[in-house]
Amino acid sequence: MLALKTLAPKSVIFRRTVKLMGDVFEISVVGNNPGWADDRIDDAIAEINRVDKLLSSFSDDSTINEINRNAGVKPVKTDAEIFRLIDRSAQVSDLTHGAFDITYCTTEKESLDTPVKRNAGSINYQNVELDARAQTVFLKETGMRIGFGANCKGYAADRAKYVLQMSGVSSGVINAGGDLLAWGAQPDDQPWTIATADTSQKSRPFANVVISNMAVATSINSGTQMPSIAGKNLSAVNSKKGFPVSGIKSVTIISPSAELADAMATPLMTIGINAGLYLINQLNQMACIIVDDHERLYTSRDISIN
């Protein structure tokens, strides 16, 4: 007697869109069980909410708020997660010569969450003192603050991916307000790709940029058309000169880490095309796509667009 072979259900993409961290996130997982997929997406949302609370400076009892309150007063002991995030942020600041900087300044009349014009002489990442042995953070200047608006969504996406992978999700995509983090493959075993990165150039799409097991973050200049994968709309300002930077329409960073891609996208807007390409070409496992205000495309040496 012949035994009948039971076919496994076909894998599909399960998606959910939700408002998190003040932005729209879309979490997608590949699987064949709707209940299982729903539970996994719940896990990812819970982790993103945890990171949001961890990095918030609105809560009186948050570590970030305590660090800010004690600026110019004393070091504050942190947990390992926050200490490592601040340490990595300082490394990106070093790498970009201060173009990326989690520090800002407030006046006495302003809340801790209202940035004002930076005093370049004293309020900068170089005045964040980190003691790895004691695991403390000290802001040396009174009125100095730190905030993670530039890389918190990327970090949250990285953490959500980790939680999903640990619970058995071998393929998925996290869209964190337009910035993407993908791993594994689509249900048809094809890699995840970006179909287009500039809606104003539909006749010349950035096609077949493989982003499986990579993260993508994009920054654009305000007043230009939003790229289809863009997550941030900003007015790029030269941090040293204080005037808007012309010539760059958008910068897209591709990196294994969403936190790093998120942190690097905006600085490249401020340092210019040549310096930006030179910087990215010195780094391993990182690539960039730059579009100037004449719709010309520039890519780092390790990226191929078909």
Predicted pLDDT at 226:
35
Q: How many CB atoms lie under 10 A from the CB of residue 249?
A: 21
Predicted pLDDT at 120:
45
Please check whether the domain covering 63-146 is classified as CATH 1.10.3980.10: yes
pLDDT band per the 50, 70, 90 thresholds, residue 8: low
Residues carrying CATH 1.10.3980.10, the chain = 63-146
CA distance 254 to 159: 18
CA distance 41 to 153: 17
Distance between first and last Cα of the chain: 53
Predicted pLDDT at 304:
66
Predicted pLDDT at 234:
38
Predicted pLDDT at 235:
39
Predicted pLDDT at 306:
58
Highest mean pLDDT of the ranges 5-14, 28-37, 60-69, 295-304 = 28-37
Predicted pLDDT at 237:
44
CA distance 186 to 15: 13
Q: How many CB atoms lie under 10 A from the CB of residue 181?
A: 30
CA 118 → CA 55, 106, 121, 141, 251, distances in Å? 21, 9, 9, 12, 24
Whether pLDDT at 199 is above 80:
no
Predicted pLDDT at 106:
77
Burial (CB count <10 Å: 0-12, 13-18, 19+), residue 274: exposed
**pTM (two decimals):** 0.83
HSE-CB of 305 using CA atoms within 13 angstroms: 19
**Higher-confidence position of 200 and 226:** 200
Assign 267 to helix, strand or coil: helix
User: Closest Cα partner for 192 from 156, 227, 229?
Assistant: 229
**106-151: per-residue pLDDT in tens?**
754 444 444 444 444 578 999 999 999 999 999 999 999 999 998 9
